[in-house]
């Protein structure tokens, strides 16, 4: 697929009203958070996700899943959003006249921590826990909670508020993500191997509904043949450069001033 100049992308941003940034673990790689499937460091190349990140695994051995996710949470809390997260937050701020939405598969909360206000976490968050029976109990995950505990309201197990393998996504969140995707003028697909359903349908739905699909990934993915543009770059470098380009020239609001023509 052709790559494209930053000027061309900024020019597309000029005309866009709805922008979506769809992110995966590759965006947090520069924060020191391992991705799931990249080479020797990929988390799933070192531990079986069915053992440490599936609902069956949790019901079989709650402590093992809790401990594995707690060590991931402690790593996330020790690191911080990188230049890519910060640039995407700046993009939302400088494109204030447009609707910039982040749809993320990541559970690290880094987009919100970097300043993005419109974030849909389709796989939940590692920063909260909830009652497994969904009785209504929910709380922030106090890292001192070293092991799973019974729901104080109903006694069912308390578990991290994220989507484990074998579970459905939160319908309301995914419906909002789908709505944003099919109304997007530009859909950036960043740092994801597009492996996990149903999140991977979002870029395809966006493309089918007329969005320009821009993939940002140092490596090809199953989306590459379909993407309008594939940027073979790290996420931080690309979005920091894009924001620099946008800030070096005033973005048009995307609305013509008809009075000037009348």
Residues at the contact surface with ligand APR, assessed by CB under 6 A = 24-26, 29-30, 35-38, 42, 105, 123, 191-193, 195-196, 216-219, 221, 234-235
The minimum distance between CB 45 and ligand APR, in angstroms, equals 9
Q: Give the nearer residue to ligand APR in terms of CB position, either 135 or 196.
A: 196
* Cα–Cα distance, 89 to 98 (Å, whole number): 13
* Cα–Cα distance, 211 to 7 (Å, whole number): 18
Q: Is 126 within 8 Å of 108 (Cβ atoms)?
A: yes
The minimum distance between CB 113 and ligand APR, in angstroms, equals 17
Parallel, antiparallel or unpaired: strands 119-121 and 99-104: parallel
The minimum distance between CB 163 and ligand APR, in angstroms, equals 7
* Residue with the shortest CB distance to ligand APR: 26
Q: Which residues are catalytic?
A: 123
- DSSP 8-state secondary structure symbol assigned to residue 229: E
Q: Give the nearer residue to ligand APR in terms of CB position, either 105 or 116.
A: 105
Closest CA to 87 of 120, 118, 116: 116
* Cα–Cα distance, 22 to 113 (Å, whole number): 17
The minimum distance between CB 169 and ligand APR, in angstroms, equals 10
CA atoms within 13 A on the CB side of 10: 19
Q: Give the nearer residue to ligand APR in terms of CB position, either 135 or 176.
A: 176
Q: Give the nearer residue to ligand APR in terms of CB position, either 14 or 38.
A: 38
């Amino acid at each position: 697929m052709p790559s494209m100049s930053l000027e061309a992308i900024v020019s597309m941003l000029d005309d866009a009203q709805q922008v979506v940034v769809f992110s995966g673990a590759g965006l947090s790689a520069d924060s020191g958070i391992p991705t799931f499937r990249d080479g020797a460091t990929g988390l799933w190349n070192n531990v079986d996700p069915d053992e440490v990140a599936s609902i069956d695994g949790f019901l079989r051995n709650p402590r093992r899943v809790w401990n594995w996710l707690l060590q991931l949470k402690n790593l996330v809390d020790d690191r911080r959003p990188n230049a890519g997260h910060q640039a995407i937050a700046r993009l939302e701020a400088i494109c204030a006249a447009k609707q910039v939405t982040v749809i993320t598969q990541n559970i690290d909360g880094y987009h919100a921590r970097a300043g993005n206000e419109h974030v849909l976490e389709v796989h939940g968050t590692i920063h909260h826990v909830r009652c497994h029976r969904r009785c209504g109990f929910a709380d922030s995950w106090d890292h001192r909670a070293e092991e799973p505990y019974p729901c104080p309201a109903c006694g069912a197990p308390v578990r991290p508020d994220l989507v484990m393998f074998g579970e459905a996504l939160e319908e309301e969140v995914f419906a909002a993500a789908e709505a944003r995707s099919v109304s997007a003028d530009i859909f950036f697909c960043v740092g994801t191997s597009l492996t996990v359903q149903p999140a991977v349908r979002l870029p395809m739905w966006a493309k089918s509904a007329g969005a320009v699909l821009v993939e940002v990934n140092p490596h090809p993915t199953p989306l590459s043949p379909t993407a309008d543009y594939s940027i073979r770059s790290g996420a931080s470098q690309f979005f920091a450069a894009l924001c620099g380009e946008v800030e070096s020239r005033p973005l048009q609001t995307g609305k013509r001033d008809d009075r000037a023509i009348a």
